[in-house]
Structures are given as structure tokens and as C-alpha cells.
Amino acid sequence: MTPTVDMSSNTATATTTDYKPKNAAFRVGLGDITPNNLGQLKRLNTVLFPVVYTATFYKEVLEVGEFAKIIYFNDVCVGAVCCRKENVAGSTSMQNLYIATLGVLAPYRRLGLGSKMLEHILENAELPASTGPRIGKVYLHVQANNEEALEFYKKHGFAVAEKCEKYYPQFEVSDAFRLEKVMVAEN
């Protein structure tokens, strides 16, 4: 039986999931990021990432629609994904999608929540655009020593496109891998 989602917040839209651990009843929902819950996203990002995001980042998050979501576990905000669309040089029919953040609080990892958020992003990236450019590829950067993240993205069809030396100059391990998944081949 698919668990039902009962999101009481009037600012969040919810979807259901078929994932259910053995002997556990829970509700999982993806909610829109709105000005009313932007503070929750900021708090999550402070806990999840060693980077301070700017006011411009949060302003852009409010403008990408389905490409920025908060995930709720039993009505508790436990993770989020934030992307940005980028124009492709020389193309008016194609954009790329950059995953700036995707994270789940440690106690809620290994429950399929990160996969649910990433699958939502990829499903929406595959949809033909009703207006404007299509998404040609989805990409992101992962710190070179983050084996868990590398395996997670590879499991979802991403491939290493390049190694970026000193991508994170503020960290001890400064190298990163750029991972990408092609959604639509360029003409």
C-alpha cells in the first residue's frame, strides 16, 4: 500500500512515494520552496553544507519552480534540492541544469529521500518545455573525496565529465569532479 501524504502547510505541494522501509509507516512529500519556508531552507543549508549561500542564490531558488524542492518526512523538513538553469552558448533551444545543492539531514539518510529528490529533478528535466529551451544536460560538482556522493550520482546515471583541480579552494580537499547526465543530445 502506498503511504498517503498529508501536508498541512498551505505553502507546500506534496507528492507520494512508493518507498517504505519494512515495518515502518511514514509520509514523504516534496514541497515547493516559497518565501514562507525559505528560512527552513536556509537553516538546512547551514547544517548540510560548509558554504554560506548568498541572498542572490535564495532569490534564484524561488524562481526555478520544480527545480527547487524541500523534502518532508512525517511533516518534518529534512532535506532539499536547489538547481539553476544556465544558458548554453550558441543555443536558443537548449539550457543546462546545475544542481547547486542536494542534501538530507544525517538521521534521515539511506531512506531513499535523496533519490526521490534527484528523480523528481531528472523527471522534470526530461519534460518537453512548453515555452523556452529544453534541458540538455544536468550537472553538478562533487568534492573528489566524497565517495558516497560519487556512487549516489553514478547510480542515477551520472558520469564523471572532468576533474576540476582546486575547485573548492577553501577546503583541504580542493579538487572536485564534474558529473553530468545528458538529457537531450545537442543537434
- Dist CA 96 CA 112 (whole Å): 25
Options 98, 139, 153, 168, the catalytic residue: 98
Residue 141 falls in the annotated catalytic set: yes
- Dist CA 30 CA 111 (whole Å): 14
- Dist CA 155 CA 135 (whole Å): 20
Please give the angle made by the CA atoms of 164, 46 and 12, to the nearest 5 degrees. Answer: 105
Amino acid identity, position 155 = K
Options 141, 156, 167, 168, the catalytic residue: 141
Residue 98 falls in the annotated catalytic set: yes
Torsion of CA 142, 144, 148, 150, to 10 degrees: 60
User: How many CB atoms sit inside 10 A of residue 84's CB?
Assistant: 17
The residues annotated with a catalytic role in the active site are: 98, 141
